[in-house]
Amino acid sequence: MTAAYSVGIDLGTTNCVVGTFSNETDVSPGDVADAVMPIDQLAQPGQMESFLHLPSFLYLPRDGEIESLRTALQSEPGGGVAGVYARNQAADNPQRVVVAAKSWLCHQSVGRGSAVLPWQSPADVPKVSAVAATGRYLSHLIAAWQSKHEGHRLADQQVVLTVPASFDPAARELTRQAAIDAGLNENFVLLEEPQAAVYRFLAERGDNWRRELSAGDVMLVVDVGGGTCDFTLVSIDEDDGELNLKRMAVGNHLLVGGDNMDLALAHMASQKLAAEGHQLDPWQSVALWHACRATKEKLLSGEGPDEQTVSVLGRGSSLIASTISTTLHRDEVVACVLDGFFPACSADERPVRQPQSGFQDIGLPFEQDPAITKHIATFLAQHSGATGGDASGSSLAQPTHVLLNGGVFRSSAIRDRVVQTIASWCETAPTVLGGPEDLDTSVAIGAAYYGWSKQSGGIRIRGGTARSYYIGIETAGLAIPGVPRPLRALCVAPQGMEEGTETDVPGDPVGLVVGAPARFRFFASSVRADDGVGVQLDRWSEDELVESDPIELTLTSHQAGDDPFIPVQFRSRVTELGMFELWCHSTKSDDAWKMEFNVRDDAD
């Protein structure tokens, strides 16, 4: 049965958005502005309102509050209330509000499926995992969809979920699990957010995009979200007279975004409060962080006020008497964000690595240097060979066009700073595509348009896998006490491997450990674009190959006998959903094992 709708869901760090197009009609540029679905949600106990965003906040209510928070969309609020109400509670009850669950999905130091959120909250506060919080957001979105589209289950539509291009396979798999647990069928698609932003541009332009882009052009997508930064290069090629788009490269995972900017503003506000004699305790500081998020969004919007009051509750018992406030001005907020996160820098400047303390709190591993423009320069240097430059990194890739995405770019000062900085690195200043109209909803609209294109045969961005994937193989040799055996990396999937394809990995058989616990190591690279399947590396730098979470489990075989090793050959497969699978086929029997990057806290 053909899906009646294509639905794009942007699972943002700060906000979730739903875009939709009917598959029964053509999409014209005029349809784009109306593609965002309003989302009903709780604003106050007993008060439902409709907004274009579902804030990615989850409030864990006290037992006495549950009854007052029941709604038609959420009959069991005890597991958490998502949306505007939860965001409002973040300022008053920060210890009971889950934030940045999306960032925790890709945090390797803490079990991604462990119930640890809200992070460092008191023992009497219930905890949930990042996966459970993500599922809760999706459950709300599914219920909101059903309430507006009677007779059309969301699970039966063409659903496209967006993820950061820098998400590792484990984070993608956990997102997929959360969606299935929330009620979606397994036929949905995961799409990278920068690609969704490009599809938003294509939907707005219709066939006219071919007048703005020509064969040989290279588009740089800079996507600054609430928790992550994503950079992508897309080339425009010509095939039999037709222009096509192909993703050339994606950046590494960068945990820097709007959350960091909110923290910087909170620090500024706390200094003002300290000068007025107010010293904040840890939870007041968290509340101030959340309050500064709303302040930033208002002051950086196109028609925002010149100043905004920021308030947090004091230590007193009286709500009004104990409220403490200060004022942030638009000019100082813009300067803080510009100088701290988008400094004008030269092409050869790189993020600064600060010496680290031997003892650190376990929390989200934000980038040590939040200068996003320096990270852009690093990305363009790493992929200079993609545009015909020097692949050694001594020169930068030369984009001809720049596409900006993310709510922070509603500020003309920030847009201009980024564009001017990139232009200073290029021989010819790149053309800026798009505008600031819907920067915080474009990913959802683009995802819905991608789904519509998939159904209708419209334009598609080619490119396959964003990275090349490797497995770590322990080399044979004499054991040396205290020294691990050397590891070599075998490329099992090249960069650009297309969805729905599979390939045999050439080479001699490799011994697979069975019948005993074993640790399987995986690596990925966004810079070794020329490595083909079967290429083996004896050494590499940490910038070339990035290790994913290992898989620890015990494999079994009915035909292994007493031999702890079974010789296997590998076969790689990229599913239609964009998920990577590695199959290990025994050379002695019909046994086969499927390796996925689905990291679990408890191996199964």
Domains and CATH numbers, the chain: 5-190 (3.30.420.40), 196-256+371-449 (3.30.420.40), 258-341 (3.90.640.10), 468-596 (no CATH)
Please say if the pLDDT value at position 26 is more than 60. Answer: yes
Question: 300 or 442: whose pLDDT is higher?
Answer: 442
Task: State residue 558's pLDDT score.
Answer: 66
pLDDT at position 361 over 60: no
Phi-psi category of 561—alpha, beta or left, where left has phi over 0 and alpha has psi -120 to 50? left
Query: What SS3 state is found at 84?
Result: helix
How much is the pLDDT for 165? 81
Angle between helices 330-341 and 258-275 (to 10 degrees): 130
Residue whose tokens read 């292994």: 560
CA 13 remoteness from chain centre = 8
DSSP element (H, E) containing 442 = helix 442-456
Cβ atoms within 10 A of the Cβ of 33, count?
12
Instruction: List the one residue out of 597, 604, 543 whose CA is nearest residue 108.
Output: 597
Mean pLDDT taken over the chain: 85
Q: What sign has the CA pseudo-torsion 21, 25, 26, 29?
A: negative
**E strands within 193-228?**
218-224
Q: Taking CA 261 as the corner, what is the angle to CA 344 and CA 275, rounded to the nearest 5 degrees?
A: 105
Which of the residue ranges 77-81, 102-106, 371-375, 395-399 has the most confident prediction, judged by mean pLDDT? 371-375
Among 91-100, 275-284, 334-343, top mean pLDDT goes to 334-343
Distance CA 492, CA 503 (A): 9
Q: Using 50, 70 and 90 to split pLDDT, how confident is the model at 386?
A: low
CA dihedral 33, 166, 497, 568 (to 10 degrees): -140
* Cα–Cα distance, 402 to 434 (Å, whole number): 9
- Amino acid letter at 250? V
- Rounded Cα gap, residues 136 and 61, in angstroms: 14
Question: How far is it, in rounded angstroms, from Cα 370 to Cα 380?
Answer: 17
Lowest mean pLDDT among 96-105, 309-318, 585-594: 309-318
Tell me the DSSP string of 85-126.
Answer: HHHHHHHH-GGGEE--HHHHHT-SSS-TTS--BSTT--TTS-
Q: Which two tokens stand for residue 495?
A: 């960069």
Token pair 């962080």 is found at 289
Distance CA 197, CA 400 (A): 17
- The answer on pLDDT for 164 being more than 90 is no
pLDDT class for 480, splitting at 50, 70, 90?
A: low
> Cβ(400)–Cβ(219) under 8 Å?
yes
Of the pLDDT bands very low, low, confident and very high (cuts 50, 70, 90), residue 358 is very low
Instruction: Give ∠ CA 535-541-545 in degrees, rounded to 5.
Output: 55
Residues 6+ apart with CB under 8 A from 268: 328, 332, 336
DSSP string covering 548-559: PPPEEEE---TT
Contact 160, 450 (CB under 8 A): yes
Lowest mean pLDDT among 51-65, 283-297, 381-395: 381-395
What's the pLDDT band for 416 if we cut at 50, 70, 90? very high
Rounded (5°) CA angle 415-417-421: 120
The structure tokens 């190591």 sit at 521
Of 321, 226, 308, nearest to 269 by C-alpha is 308
Query: Please, which contacts does 558-561 make with residues 24 or more away whose CB atoms are closer than 8 Å?
Result: 558/591, 559/586, 559/588, 559/589, 559/591, 560/514, 560/515
pLDDT at 477: 59
Higher pLDDT, 317 or 89: 89
- What single letter denotes the amino acid at residue 309? T
Token pair in block for residue 461 = 């961005």
pLDDT score recorded for residue 252? 80
Residue 47 structure tokens: 């008060």
Residue 289 tokens read as 């962080």
503: its two tokens: 């390939």
Q: What is the pLDDT of residue 143?
A: 96
Q: Are 301 and 275 in contact (CB under 8 A)?
A: no
Give pLDDT tens digits for 44-65.
999 999 999 999 999 999 999 9
pLDDT tens figures, 488-515: 999 999 988 887 789 999 999 998 888 8
Q: Give the separation between CA 177 and CA 497, rounded to whole angstroms.
A: 23
Asked if residue 402 lies in contact with residue 219, where contact means CB atoms within 8 angstroms, the answer is: yes
What percent of the chain has pLDDT above 90? 46
**Does 118 sit behind a cis peptide bond, omega within 30 degrees of 0 on the bond before it?**
yes
Query: Minimum mean pLDDT among 136-145, 173-182, 189-198, 307-316: which range?
Result: 307-316
User: Given the structure tokens 């959420």, which residue do they identify?
Assistant: 74
3-class DSSP state for residue 578? coil
Among 49-63, 363-377, 469-483, the range with the most confident prediction by mean pLDDT is 49-63
Q: In the structure encoding, which two tokens stand for residue 520, read together?
A: 């399987």
pTM over 0.85: no
Picking from 1-15, 414-428, 561-575, which range would have the lowest pLDDT averaged per residue? 561-575
Q: Where are the beta strands (DSSP E) in 398-437?
A: 401-405, 431-433
